[in-house]
Amino acid sequence: MPTKKTVNKPEAEEAQVKKAAAPKAEKAPAEKKAAPKKAAAEKKPAAEKKTAPKAAAKAAAEPAAVKAEKKPAARKAPAKEAAAEKPVRKTVKKTPAKKAPVEEAEMAPVAEQPAPVVEQEAPVVEQPVEEVQLPQPRRSVAFIGSECYPFVKTGGLGDVMYALPKALTKQNCDVKVILPRYRCIPQKYQDKMIYRGEFWMNLCSDGRSFYVGIMEYVWDGVVYDFIDNEDFFGYGNPYTNLVDDIPRYCFFAKAALAALNYMNWVPDIIHCHDWQAALVPVYLRTIFNGTPVASARTVFTIHNLRFQGVYNIATIKYWTGLPDHVFSYEVMKQGRDDANMLKGGLAYADRITTVSATYAGEIQTPFYGDGLDGHLRYHSDRLRGIVNGIDVEQWDSSTDKKLAAPYDRETVLEQKRANKRALQEALGLEVDEGKFVIGLISRLTDQKGLDLVNAILPALVDGNTQVAVLGTGEPQYEDSFRSFEQAYKGSVCAYIAYDESLAHRIYAGADALLVPSLFEPCGLTQLIAMRYGTVPVVRETGGLKDTVQPYNEFTNEGNGFTFDRYESGLLLDSINRAKTLYFTQRDRWDEMVRRDMDKDVSWDSSAVQYRNLYLELKP
Ligand code: ADP
């Protein structure tokens, strides 16, 4: 049964760190040999020993003109050239290359699903090509984020970082995706990366400098540039704990900008994603002010407000080398002693987006705002929601090689039964195509409404219903689902793992998919489910509300079953409504299956909205 586990986004860490006034250990992953003493890093960062090689230290002339920086209000205007600043690339001094980590990387559990690559790299058969009119003008965009399918993925962010750039290329955007070069990226991709260059970069407040390598991979019209530094990214899958993650993403944000200068590729737009890239706008309008890359405008997308990158000010100040004024309440300061990286990104970005219109409204309220609702209300003139799509080539039931029986809207009814039987067999469920099979594919965390599922699961298993759970996460949920499997053998399967292939087979073989989230910025599983003709049962929150139209029995319209308040009874009621339709009015159910498959869940219209947003900033 379960074989592999993945590392999920570290909610636990966040909570832990929010409480902690001081870091547990000031580990300095990039310089383990010469790690600063804890007290030194926290209290007197400037007093740290300089450990970088001399040549490197000289070469690491990051722009140092803090004087030339704008005050927090800098978000309003793009930076003016500051004479004192120099582009990083001019100051780079080549040092003996540090060999890129290309050892036999155990394939990361998070990225075990690289099938589409092969397909898409097949030689293209020459055909008469219709001339496609691309929208004008062309715009260049740098995506900066911490994960991207198929290299490394822990959740929806990874899907978006892959699919949106691809969709934007069809909107005449020239897209470069900048990612950390984690060791867990499968070797087959590591092998295809091409060395683009290297330099040393000042990072910390005492001027310690660090190696930055750039490895490049071009695929499907998108350029992927991986920031290489073995000490920061040579471990983790990709997230570990905040003690290590804070320094590595401080490094990543600054290195990404320095790499753009180094490559002499100044995009019109820099599009940053989630807290791991939140310091990019802050760096851009402070330390990089006056360098070539500062002419770019920034968009910051919140994929999940729960994760913010909060740590004590002394540590973040040390690792970033950012000037004092960004540690004010208007920018990064939070509480008495903490700095919040996400908050800083929101303060400095030219535009803020999140992944659905409903979530854009919700996060401005205390319940969903995770402590930043006031900050978001203050910046609401720059905030909007653009709903996610999915990559409809990656998620295509008619070509999906992972399925027992691929199908389209014409063959769905018959083939879904075949997929259901194959799924039941694989998961040890009673093989009976007459059963109503409910799937749940999720990180197992509080966010996902799993306490509601736990509360009603015994009531669900009535002899006609089966439940297939696929997920990893918090032990309390892993354990409870495992015990349900024991208690209801043959009716419940808890597959505690991250398994891309099984996910495809559940989307295809289940009749309904549960997404009863407490909050859900957008949610992709309900979109994938609909594309596979699987009816979603969702709570009306965030993107779930925006993408699933509730079934109306009077008009026979809708895409799924929904409930509003976060109550287990309401979840049970909506599942029962679904079951009633399935068992008593199958023709109507089947119509809904086809309606769901017809629904446009692609990136097409959202990619146009992003393009328009870029044009607002750079007409
Ligand atoms: P989140 O980003 O909050 O985890 P989303 O619904 O936006 O949730 O995206 C979840 C993505 O991760 C989907 O592509 C889903 O299929 C995938 N996924 C989640 N858990 C698993 C798992 N255990 N195995 C395989 N894929 C998973």
Whether 602 is in the pocket of ligand 1, judged by its Cβ within 6 Å, is no
Give 18's pLDDT tier (boundaries 50, 70, 90). Answer: very low
Q: Which residue minimizes the CA distance to atom 20 of ligand 1? A: 442
Whether 6 is in the pocket of ligand 1, judged by its Cβ within 6 Å, is no
Rounded Cα distance, 469 and 485, in Å? 10
Distance of CA 610 from the midpoint of ligand 1 (Å): 23
- The residue type of 173 is C
For residue 214, the cross-strand partners are 197, 227
Q: Where are the beta strands (DSSP E) in 42-167?
A: 139-144
Give 125's pLDDT tier (boundaries 50, 70, 90). Answer: low
Whether 156 is in the pocket of ligand 1, judged by its Cβ within 6 Å, is yes
CA-515 nearest atom, ligand 1: 6
pLDDT of residue 368 exceeding 60: yes
Whether 500 is in the pocket of ligand 1, judged by its Cβ within 6 Å, is yes
Q: What's the pLDDT tens digit per position in 148-194?
A: 999 999 989 999 999 999 999 999 999 999 999 999 999 999 999 99
Whether 472 is in the pocket of ligand 1, judged by its Cβ within 6 Å, is yes
Whether 503 is in the pocket of ligand 1, judged by its Cβ within 6 Å, is yes
Rounded Cα distance, 612 and 610, in Å? 5
Whether 499 is in the pocket of ligand 1, judged by its Cβ within 6 Å, is yes
Whether 470 is in the pocket of ligand 1, judged by its Cβ within 6 Å, is yes
pLDDT of residue 435 exceeding 50: yes
Distance of CA 156 from the midpoint of ligand 1 (Å): 6
Distance of CA 92 from the midpoint of ligand 1 (Å): 40
pLDDT of residue 433 exceeding 60: yes
Rounded Cα distance, 311 and 25, in Å? 12
For residue 437, the cross-strand partners are 466
Q: Which residue minimizes the CA distance to atom 12 of ligand 1? A: 155
Whether 390 is in the pocket of ligand 1, judged by its Cβ within 6 Å, is no
Q: Where are the beta strands (DSSP E) in 12-56?
A: none
Q: Which residue minimizes the CA distance to atom 22 of ligand 1? A: 498
Which pLDDT value is given to residue 609? 97
Which pLDDT value is given to residue 237? 82
φ and ψ at residue 490, rounded to 5 degrees: 90, -20
Whether 516 is in the pocket of ligand 1, judged by its Cβ within 6 Å, is no
Distance of CA 441 from the midpoint of ligand 1 (Å): 6
Q: Which residue minimizes the CA distance to atom 8 of ligand 1? A: 156
Q: Which residue minimizes the CA distance to atom 15 of ligand 1? A: 525
Which pLDDT value is given to residue 475? 97
Best of 441, 499, 518 to mutate for ligand 1, by most ligand atoms within 8 A of CB? 441
Most confident of 10-24, 237-251, 516-530: 516-530
> Greater confidence, 454 or 65?
454
Distance of CA 122 from the midpoint of ligand 1 (Å): 27
Which pLDDT value is given to residue 87? 32
Which pLDDT value is given to residue 83? 30
Q: Which residue minimizes the CA distance to atom 19 of ligand 1? A: 442
Which pLDDT value is given to residue 35? 33
Best of 524, 531, 541, 544 to mutate for ligand 1, by most ligand atoms within 8 A of CB? 524
In the chain, pLDDT over 90 holds for what percent of residues?
77
> Which helix (H) or strand (E) segment is 562 a member of?
strand 561-563
Distance of CA 140 from the midpoint of ligand 1 (Å): 29
Rounded Cα distance, 223 and 142, in Å? 10
Best of 498, 517, 530, 603 to mutate for ligand 1, by most ligand atoms within 8 A of CB? 498
Rounded Cα distance, 504 and 423, in Å? 10
Average pLDDT rounded to a whole number, residues 132-148: 94
pLDDT of residue 398 exceeding 90: yes
Secondary structure (DSSP) of 417-438: HHHHHHHHHHHT----TTSEEE
Nearest to 228 by CA among 204, 262, 205, 271: 262
Distance of CA 495 from the midpoint of ligand 1 (Å): 14
Distance of CA 422 from the midpoint of ligand 1 (Å): 22
Distance of CA 53 from the midpoint of ligand 1 (Å): 43
Whether 441 is in the pocket of ligand 1, judged by its Cβ within 6 Å, is yes
Whether 525 is in the pocket of ligand 1, judged by its Cβ within 6 Å, is yes
Rounded Cα distance, 246 and 236, in Å? 13
Whether 471 is in the pocket of ligand 1, judged by its Cβ within 6 Å, is yes
Which pLDDT value is given to residue 177? 98
Distance of CA 203 from the midpoint of ligand 1 (Å): 34
Three-state SS string over 198-255 comes to EEEEECCCCCCEEEEEEEEEEECCEEEEEEECHHHHCCCCCCCCHHHHHHHHHHHHHH
> Greater confidence, 581 or 18?
581
Give 25's pLDDT tier (boundaries 50, 70, 90). Answer: very low
Q: Which residue minimizes the CA distance to atom 7 of ligand 1? A: 156
C-alpha neighbours within 13 Å on the C-beta side of residue 361: 7
Which pLDDT value is given to residue 10? 36
Whether 155 is in the pocket of ligand 1, judged by its Cβ within 6 Å, is yes
Which pLDDT value is given to residue 453? 98
Distance of CA 154 from the midpoint of ligand 1 (Å): 7
pLDDT of residue 59 exceeding 60: no
Average pLDDT rounded to a whole number, residues 336-344: 97
Contact criterion met (CB below 8 Å) for 268 and 614? yes
Contact criterion met (CB below 8 Å) for 212 and 199? yes
Which pLDDT value is given to residue 221? 87
Give 130's pLDDT tier (boundaries 50, 70, 90). Answer: low
Best of 159, 305, 446 to mutate for ligand 1, by most ligand atoms within 8 A of CB? 159
Which pLDDT value is given to residue 82? 32
Whether 547 is in the pocket of ligand 1, judged by its Cβ within 6 Å, is no
Give 39's pLDDT tier (boundaries 50, 70, 90). Answer: very low
Q: Which residue minimizes the CA distance to atom 2 of ligand 1? A: 156
Distance of CA 498 from the midpoint of ligand 1 (Å): 9
Distance of CA 269 from the midpoint of ligand 1 (Å): 28
pLDDT of residue 525 exceeding 70: yes
Distance of CA 158 from the midpoint of ligand 1 (Å): 9
Q: Is 150 helix (H, G, I), strand (E, B) or coil?
A: coil
Give 126's pLDDT tier (boundaries 50, 70, 90). Answer: low
Nearest to 438 by CA among 475, 493, 482: 493
